[in-house]
Amino acid sequence: MADGAAGAKLVAAEIVDGHDGMTDRRRWKLSWNDAGLAAGLPPYAFAKATPHGAYLRETLALLHMAENEVRFYSQLQAEVAAIAPKAYHSAFYPGGRFLLIMEDLETRGLQPYWAHHDCSVDHAGAVLDALAQLHAAFWDSDRFAGDLAWLRPRVKKFGRKWHRQSYLEARRRYLDMEPGQTLPEDIRQLLSVWGQNDLAVYDYWETLTPTALHGDSHLGNTYGAPDGTAGLFDWQVMFRGHGLRDVAYFMMSALPDAMRRSHETALLDRYLDALGSRGVKMDRAKAKRDYALFILDQWDAHMKAYAFGGYGHMPEARKRTKDTLVGALQAHGVSDLLEHVVRKGTL
């Protein structure tokens, strides 16, 4: 952080804020000597480190999440700097241990969103622009066979068998919890079919054109800038897959169902237009079917948050996501799409 600032020394550091989710996170106030102040060194920094919870540490270790995020900041952030914060220090160690020292978003005038915040249509559109920028940059990249080989496809991710088992358990537990007990009967039936056929859907998703995915693109991992643009943080769940997966994951987490009904189509078109402006063309009708099927992935994440803990997400955020998921699963006929993939292997 002080490299290149001759004579700069950190005089004091104080934790002024913090919250814990998948990782432990702290905002630090930094006091510099005169040389550091003259060099314009940052008054605040944001630190992410190994979580205290045993289940969370197990998750990080098995899925190589800390390694993913450190690789993003050391290797890819400079290529998408307009949509991601910078890191001053990044390192990972065995057992899911890691340390990231990052720029403080608020010091730069950026507004971080948390999962329970209200999302405007403008912010949703800006996030989709950011996702289009990320996805277009690595669309069907030859680098997946080279320096980006660490971005594994879903079916070859570290810990994939453990991860799927956790989803199976989460689906089972969810049905016995209040949000599961109040599901409409058609959605309960869909959950049963999904639980029996998720591997067939994963295989289908692997046939789609891959790109670099953020992987955890819910509202609480986004920020807004004063100029109306947006970006994302928490890059620890990156993997290789189709861009519409990130889009569905975000939309289901961010939009109340009434907003989804009013603006979902226009927002999806905005993403596809942004991709097209960067040279990536998709068949619109096929894209909308794939988008709808990817809703199942956010559904799993939602159920897991209820079954194993909310990762720091407020109850109102989980309730909003549940309502949006149910509305979207019904509106898009996801039951029919799922059955088609199971029978035909394609959409």
Domains present along the chain, CATH in parentheses: 1-103 (3.30.200), 111-344 (3.90.1200.10)
**pLDDT average, residue stretch 193-207:** 98
Instruction: Say if residues 98 and 49 touch (Cβ distance below 8 Å).
Output: yes
- Those residues whose C-beta lies under 8 Å from the C-beta of residue 105, and which sit 6 or more positions away, are 46, 85, 111, 112, 223, 233
Integer CA distances (angstroms), 4 to 13, 39, 103, 296, in order: 20, 9, 17, 48
The whole-number average pLDDT for the span 49-57 is 87
The pLDDT assigned to 37 comes to: 95
| C-alpha span between 273 and 296 (Å, rounded) | 24
What integer is the mean pLDDT of 263-274?
99
313 pLDDT band, cuts 50/70/90, is low
Q: What is the pLDDT of residue 215?
A: 98
* Spatial distance between the Cα atoms of 105 and 316, rounded to a whole number of angstroms: 24
pLDDT confidence bin for 52, thresholds 50/70/90: confident
Give the side-chain half-sphere CA count within 13 A for 338: 22
pLDDT, position 312: 58
Does the pLDDT of residue 207 top 80, yes or no?
yes
- Mean pLDDT across the chain, nearest whole number? 95
- Across 165-191, average pLDDT: 96
Question: In this predicted structure, what is the pLDDT of residue 315?
Answer: 82
**pLDDT exceeds 70 at position 311:** no
pTM over 0.85: yes
pLDDT digits (tens, 9 = 90+) for 83-125: 999 999 999 998 889 999 999 999 999 999 999 999 999 999 9
